[in-house]
Amino acid sequence: MRRALFAALALGTFACSAVLGVDDFSIRPPPADVPDSGLDVADTSTIPDSVAPITETGVPGECKVNADCMGRGEFWVCRKSDQACVSLQSQDCSKIVGSYKDDNAIIIGSVLPTTGDDLTSGVPIENAIALAIQDFSGNGHLPPRPGTTARRPLVLVGCTDASDDDVAVRAAKHLAEGLEVPAIIGAAFSGITIKVATDVTIPAGTLLISPSATSVAITGLQDDGLVWRTSPSDVIQAQADVKFFPWLEQQVLAGATRDIKVAIANKGDPYGRGLAESVSESLVFNGKAALAQIGSPRNFAMFDYGDATPKYTEAVTGIATMRPDVVFLFGTTETLTELMKGIEKEWPTGVDAPPRPRYILADGSLVSEATAIANGNPDTPDYSNGNLRRRIVGTIPGTSNTNFLKFQTLYNAKVTDGTSPSTGGAANAYDALYNIAFSIVAAGDKPITGKVIAEGFAKQVMKGAGNLDVGFTNINTAFQKLSAGQGFDFNGASGPLDYDLETGEAPSDIQFWCLPEENGIAGGGRASPLFYNAQTEQMQGTYEAMTQFCNF
């Protein structure tokens, strides 16, 4: 991603992918029917069916203000470009947050997995965006555009992608082409982010900012400066795995002198492939490069189980036959429900059976299913004695800081659907909305477009201009500085947002999570005291502290 529009500007500041609070990182999934979040939002079931056009649209020239469209039904507004009435909602977009009837409202979209298998990831992220919008509405909205007197509400139109490329593209088209929003927060996953960016938002001139997409492939997108992320590249997460591995190798050997075996299984999307490739290229064990041990003896193997038509059985059988000491699993929920569960079921049993493998997971596996699988599987008695819990460790971008703890407190006070603020991407989405809002203010009297919002990020990464923490209490200070043409160094709930204005991303520390014992069983995922410092490129904290914290 080249940022030519920032060529004359100094580099500034960016954020990390998901921040974990060490004291409370348990993942609490919402019920399957996704109850009301408790936030002040509109969410109805009166949405067009699948045969309807992507965006319900009236006749050009029929309206001048939103009130002219109210006769068509709730959630209809006047599209300024052609004065046609349009419905904010579509078959994929049902969540409406904010004062949408206000003619000065600025509409922002989101595309996230708020339905389907990954809703435990998407719902908290959407909730976090809604919280940020309520921060600004509680402060009287955004300041008036210079030369006017009306303050400007922020409105969210929240869409689901159901973890599906086609649904995501359809939802994004509703937002970018139908509603002509200047910015979209999403997607949650790298492959969908790339698909939405290339098929919809880049051609439409819409800014796309992902709170949790980490694939290396995103860095190289030809995006005209319109694709950003508040999550770091997987290159950094891979570096953390490589630095961590020598300690784990010692634990596996426990003083023995034999060679160990390692396997990597990955989802066949940009996220899974990127992590697998980055780790395999740098991993060293048995005193040799991993890639040099693929032959005979076969101490290293890689299994890409695909994406659209996954081959779980082949990967599980291959790993169970190889009998590795350590298995890296890079993907999302399926790494637990299909791969780990399958490997444990197929693992040899009996007196001569080899020890069961250690698992190293990534942020995509930090979901409620990790705890559920660690606590019970009728096919594998080994689950019941806590053995599996002790063999699981994972990584996730993030850091624990005061801003995150404040966000955590706000989320738990306002959101009542049982979801967790520590879910990967939630704090990042909260920060992303703040970034967008501040960029709009920095734009002055310019028309609000994707490129104009991108330009405003430079005002939020100004070293030496003073720090500004995310949160309601600092909104007016930010408004004053930005309205005066000044800037600041923004610190988010997800960490310091040290954006590289050329790539739209920045380094982040990587935390190591585990499933500590709670009341005799595996608890929710928590960040241990051990983490990889992205600036020093070294591990920080102690392995002893991690071992004690995780109850290994």
- The CATH-assigned architecture of domain 235-398+511-550 is 3-Layer(aba) Sandwich (3.40)
Q: Looking at the DSSP assignment, which residues form a beta bridge with residue 500?
A: 505
Nearest to 162 by CA among 115, 103, 121: 115
Nearest to 176 by CA among 111, 82, 119: 111
**The two structure tokens encoding residue 80:** 């300024």
Other Cβ atoms less than 10 A from the Cβ of 224: the count is 18
**The two structure tokens encoding residue 504:** 């739209």
H helix or E strand, kind and range, residue 530: strand 526-533
* Tokens 């559920």 -> residue: 372
Please give the distance of CA 247 from its chain centroid, rounded to a whole number: 28
DSSP 521: E
H helix or E strand, kind and range, residue 190: helix 190-196
Provide the pLDDT for residue 103: 98
3-state helix, strand, coil in the chain (%, to 5): 35, 20, 45
H helix or E strand, kind and range, residue 372: helix 368-374
Q: How many CA atoms lie within 13 A of 229 on its CB side?
A: 35
Nearest to 211 by CA among 183, 244, 188: 188
Strand 326-330 with 358-361, pairing: parallel
Q: How many CA atoms lie within 13 A of 356 on its CB side?
A: 22
Question: pLDDT of the chain along its 552 residues, tens only?
Answer: 433 333 333 323 323 333 333 223 333 333 344 556 777 666 543 344 444 578 999 999 999 999 999 999 999 999 999 999 999 999 999 999 999 999 999 999 999 999 998 898 899 999 999 999 999 999 999 999 999 999 999 999 999 999 999 999 999 999 999 999 999 999 999 999 999 999 999 999 999 999 999 888 899 899 999 999 998 888 999 999 999 999 999 999 998 889 999 999 999 999 999 999 999 999 999 999 999 999 878 999 999 999 989 999 999 999 999 999 999 999 998 999 999 999 999 999 888 889 999 999 998 898 888 999 998 754 544 544 568 999 999 998 877 778 988 999 999 999 999 888 988 899 999 999 999 999 999 999 999 999 999 999 999 999 889 999 999 999 999 999 999 999 999 999 988 888 989 899 877 889 899 999 998 889 888 889 999 988 789 999 999 999 999 998
Q: Looking at the DSSP assignment, which residues form a beta bridge with residue 110?
A: 158, 185
